Amino acid sequence: MSAKFITFEGTEGVGKTTAIARLCERLRETGTQVVQTREPGGSELAEKLRAMLIDPATKIDDATELLLMFTARSDHLHHTILPALNAGKWVVCDRFIDSSVAYQGYGRWQGDPDKLAKIDGLIENFVPRLPDMTLWLDLPIAEGMARAGKRGEADRFEAEALAFFERVHQGFAKQQQRHPNRIHRIDASGTVEAVSERVWQAVQGLDS
C-alpha cells in the first residue's frame, strides 16, 4: 500500500493520544514505517509557535491565532509531513486542518460563513496535501472535559468555557458531514481496546 497520511481529530480528553500510540504500534508490527507527529507543532519552528499558542499568558486576537496555526502547519508540512510521505513512510498526525475549522471557525467565530470561507481559502492555498483519512474521535463534551481536567493545569484552549467546546464539537460534526469520504466518526466511548479496534477497522478501509 502507498504511504498514507492519517489525522486524528476531536475535542479535549477524547483519548487521541492513546488511540494514536496504539495505531502506530500496530502499523509498525505489520512492518509499516510510521512518523507520528502533532499540530500545532511537529517541526522545529512549529513547536516554538505551539508553545506560544497554548501558553495561557499569551494575549492574541482570533485572526492572528488562525494565521499562526497555518504558519505552523506550513512549516510542519514542508519539513516533516511531505518529506516523510515522499520517503514512503506513513504519517499519523494528532490534529490538522479540521481543528482549525472547528476551533477557530466554530469555536472563535461561531460558524460565521464568511470566516469559514477564509479558512477554506487558507486550506486550498497553503495545504498541498490533504489527509487520506481523518479519524474524528467523538465523545460527549462533559465526558472529555472531565478526563482532560485530570491532566493538571489548563492550557490557553482548555481554559475556555463549555459553550466554546460545544461549538467546536458542532464544528467537527459539520466537517464530517461536508467530507464524509475523508472523515470517519469513531465512537470514543468504552475501553481503550474497543476504541483502538474501531480505529483499526476504519484504517483497513484505506484504498491501496
User: Terminus-to-terminus CA distance in the chain, angstroms?
Assistant: 5
Give yes or no for residue 103 binding ligand TMP (CB under 6 A).
yes
| Residues 150-189 close enough to bind ligand TMP by CB under 6 A | 157
- The nearer residue to ligand TMP, 39 or 75, going by C-beta atoms, is 39
Decide if 186 contacts 137 (C-beta within 8 A): yes
- The nearer residue to ligand TMP, 133 or 137, going by C-beta atoms, is 137
Give the number of other Cβ atoms within 10 Å of residue 190's Cβ.
12
List, in sequence order, every beta strand (DSSP E) within the chain. 5-9, 34-38, 90-94, 133-138, 183-187
Q: How far is CA 125 from CA 15, 39, 122, in A?
A: 31, 18, 5
Give yes or no for residue 8 binding ligand TMP (CB under 6 A).
no
Total chain residues near ligand TMP (CB under 6 A): 11
- The nearer residue to ligand TMP, 39 or 132, going by C-beta atoms, is 39
Q: What is the residue-wise DSSP string for 120-167?
A: HHHHHHH-S---SEEEEEE--HHHHHHHHHTTSS--TTTTS-HHHHHH
Q: How far is the CB of 20 from ligand TMP (least distance, A)?
A: 10
Q: Which residues of 95-107 are buried (b: 16+ CB within 10 A; e: fewer)?
A: bbbbbbbbbbbbb
Give yes or no for residue 13 binding ligand TMP (CB under 6 A).
no
Q: Which three cell numbers stand for residue 87?
A: 520517503
Among 100, 175, 176, 196, binds ligand TMP (CB under 6 A): 100
Give yes or no for residue 54 binding ligand TMP (CB under 6 A).
yes
Give yes or no for residue 7 binding ligand TMP (CB under 6 A).
no
Among 34, 46, 49, 69, binds ligand TMP (CB under 6 A): 69
Give yes or no for residue 106 binding ligand TMP (CB under 6 A).
no
- The nearer residue to ligand TMP, 54 or 145, going by C-beta atoms, is 54
Binding site for ligand TMP (CB under 6 A): 39-40, 54, 69, 94-95, 99-100, 103-104, 157
